[in-house]
């Protein structure tokens, strides 16, 4: 018997020997866990986005009430967003709608492929936020021709953001995490080169 086999006892309940493995996880297993976690995060963001949109649209009937004040600085305000996240790139008509669906679907596919290849857990988490948010908005646009935005953060008359939704927030947070990480990596490499 080889030394490797003696180090990891055979266990019929654990044929891969994962429980008996005491060192760091093999790269392939780490990658599978990272992917699985990222896909779960993307699904949870997607599900939360759809659930909140459903509550706002149906039980709260926000389209008919137009606005509901929650606290002094936050309202629920009904907005049919025909553009992409935060109301950018507005598209009127069926051609614009389907071009926007195609564009956002292409971006979502790119993010999904990037996520699948990504080995770093923090980048995978950021990509999962972007993917879950994008899929939530794409589904709504395919079904209704617009995305429902409702979160209206304001301080008096000043609004730091356009009206948004959970999907928009997830996309924004994911992109910011990727940018911060890219800047930190660049600064880290620059410091190493200077030394």
19 has pLDDT over 80 = no
Contacts of residue 46, defined as CB under 8 A and 6 or more positions apart, other chains included, come to 132, 133, 135, 136, 139, 167
Share of the chain above pLDDT 70, in %: 78
Among residues 176, 90, 93, 95, the alpha carbon closest in space to that of 133 is found at 176
pLDDT in tens, 91-113: 667 787 888 899 999 999 999 99
Among residues 91, 74, 81, 93, the alpha carbon closest in space to that of 171 is found at 81
Backbone phi and psi for residue 146, each to the nearest 5 degrees, phi listed first: -155, 170
pTM of this prediction? 0.79
Residues annotated as catalytic (active site), given as ranges? 149, 168
65 vs 23: CA distance, rounded Å: 59
pLDDT in tens, 132-179: 999 999 999 999 989 999 999 999 888 888 899 999 999 999 999 999
């Amino acid at each position: 018997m080889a030394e490797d086999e003696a180090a990891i006892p055979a266990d019929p309940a654990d044929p891969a020997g994962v429980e008996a493995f005491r060192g760091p996880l093999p790269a392939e297993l780490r990658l599978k866990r990272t992917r699985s976690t990222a896909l779960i995060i993307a699904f949870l963001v997607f599900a939360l986005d759809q659930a909140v949109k459903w509550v706002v649209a149906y039980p709260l009937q926000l389209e008919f009430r137009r606005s509901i004040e929650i606290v002094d600085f936050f309202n629920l305000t009904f907005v049919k967003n025909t553009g992409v996240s935060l109301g950018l790139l507005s598209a009127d008509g069926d051609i614009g709608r389907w071009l926007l669906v195609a564009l956002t679907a292409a971006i979502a596919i790119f993010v999904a492929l990037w996520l699948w290849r990504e080995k770093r857990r923090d980048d995978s988490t950021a990509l999962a936020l972007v993917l879950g948010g994008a899929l939530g908005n794409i589904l709504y646009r395919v079904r209704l021709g617009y995305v429902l935005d409702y979160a209206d953060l304001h301080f008096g008359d000043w609004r730091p953001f356009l009206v948004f939704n959970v999907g928009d927030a997830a996309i924004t947070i994911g992109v910011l995490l990727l940018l911060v990480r890219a800047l930190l990596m660049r600064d880290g490499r620059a410091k190493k080169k200077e030394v």
